[in-house]
């Protein structure tokens, strides 16, 4: 699909600014943001808290139109009902009154793709990534890690090409976070998705991303872009590698400018 964009970036921000308007006043959340993401790339966006990282995802997903500048996905303005996005939030947001299986089918129902083929594809994914025995369970019967995994399978169910991950591990305890992070990384790689991860956790960014984008304090600007060059090394191995701490130090400094 979309072969003609093979060489072009999948996502492009050019000179994007965004101003929020509320009764209390206006806030410039992002200013002159420019960056691009290539097909199959795993990008991490880090920045000080409250700098407008989530805003970047919202604009990418077409939930928020930019005040000026252009956001282009496959060369076109993003459309939130388009099929190529999968959005994953901080908490799993599984619906407690639905079983895991019904939760996974949710995007199919919303996108009117609730066909037997799509359902069996989604179930195959769940089976492949260890949710097979839990399909008839309700979310509150699952551990935090399993819930987040179910949320990822739900995100993947409708076959999105671009995953937007908004601090998807931050609600988990440290131990679970590391292992779920590993799982999610493996799943995204093996499904060959393009992913944009927003996080305030520097080590998380280094452990999963091909490139790291550093944003400044509000209004958000891109202050640095780093190609990490870990290749396909899995997160836990990256954390053990010697480059890890030097990247950490560099990014730490850049965040605190």
Which residues of this protein are in contact with other proteins, per CB under 8 A? 61, 63, 79-82, 85, 87, 89-91, 93, 95-97, 106-107, 109-111, 138, 140, 158, 164
Nearer to other proteins, 138 or 248 (CB): 138
Nearer to other proteins, 153 or 212 (CB): 153
State whether residue 128 is helix, strand or coil.
helix
Give the residue from 155, 160, 57 showing the smallest Cα distance to 106: 155
Nearer to other proteins, 115 or 190 (CB): 115
Distances (CA, A) of 124 to 110, 117, 120: 20, 10, 6
Smallest gap from residue 251 Cβ to other proteins (A) = 28
Question: Taking the alpha carbons of 6, 59, 214, 160 in that order, is the dihedral positive or negative?
Answer: negative
Rounded CA separation 144/61 (Å): 26
- The widest CA-to-CA distance across the chain, in whole angstroms, is 53
Smallest gap from residue 233 Cβ to other proteins (A) = 30
The token pair at 104 is 């996974």
Smallest gap from residue 84 Cβ to other proteins (A) = 11
- DSSP-assigned beta bridge partners for residue 171: none
Nearer to other proteins, 91 or 200 (CB): 91
Rounded CA separation 213/254 (Å): 11
- DSSP-assigned beta bridge partners for residue 213: 45, 225
Nearer to other proteins, 155 or 199 (CB): 155
Smallest gap from residue 217 Cβ to other proteins (A) = 24
Nearer to other proteins, 151 or 178 (CB): 151
Strands (E), 175-236: 194-199, 211-215, 222-227
User: Which residue shows structure tokens 């604009």?
Assistant: 59
Smallest gap from residue 98 Cβ to other proteins (A) = 8
Smallest gap from residue 94 Cβ to other proteins (A) = 9
């Amino acid at each position: 699909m979309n072969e003609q964009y093979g060489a072009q970036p999948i996502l492009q921000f050019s000179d994007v600014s965004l101003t929020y308007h509320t009764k209390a006043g206006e806030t410039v959340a992002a200013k002159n943001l420019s960056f691009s993401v290539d097909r199959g790339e795993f990008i991490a966006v880090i920045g000080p808290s409250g700098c407008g990282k989530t805003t970047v995802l919202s604009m990418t997903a077409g939930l928020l139109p930019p005040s000026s500048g252009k956001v282009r996905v496959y060369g076109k303005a993003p459309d939130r009902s388009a099929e190529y996005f999968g959005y994953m939030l901080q908490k799993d947001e599984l619906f407690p009154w639905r079983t895991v299986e019904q939760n996974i089918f949710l995007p199919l129902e919303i996108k009117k793709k609730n066909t037997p083929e799509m359902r069996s594809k989604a179930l195959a994914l769940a089976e492949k990534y260890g949710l097979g025995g839990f399909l008839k369970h309700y979310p509150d019967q699952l551990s935090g890690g399993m819930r987040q995994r179910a949320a990822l399978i739900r995100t993947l169910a409708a076959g999105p090409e671009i995953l937007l991950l908004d601090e998807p591990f931050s609600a988990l305890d440290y131990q679970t976070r590391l292992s779920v992070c590993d799982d999610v990384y493996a799943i995204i790689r093996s499904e060959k998705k393009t992913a944009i991860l927003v996080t305030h956790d520097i080590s998380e960014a280094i452990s999963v991303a091909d490139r790291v984008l550093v944003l400044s304090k509000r209004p958000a600007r891109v202050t640095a872009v780093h190609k990490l060059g870990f290749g396909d090394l899995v997160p836990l191995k990256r954390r053990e590698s010697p480059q890890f701490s030097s990247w950490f130090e560099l990014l730490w400094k850049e965040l605190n400018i």
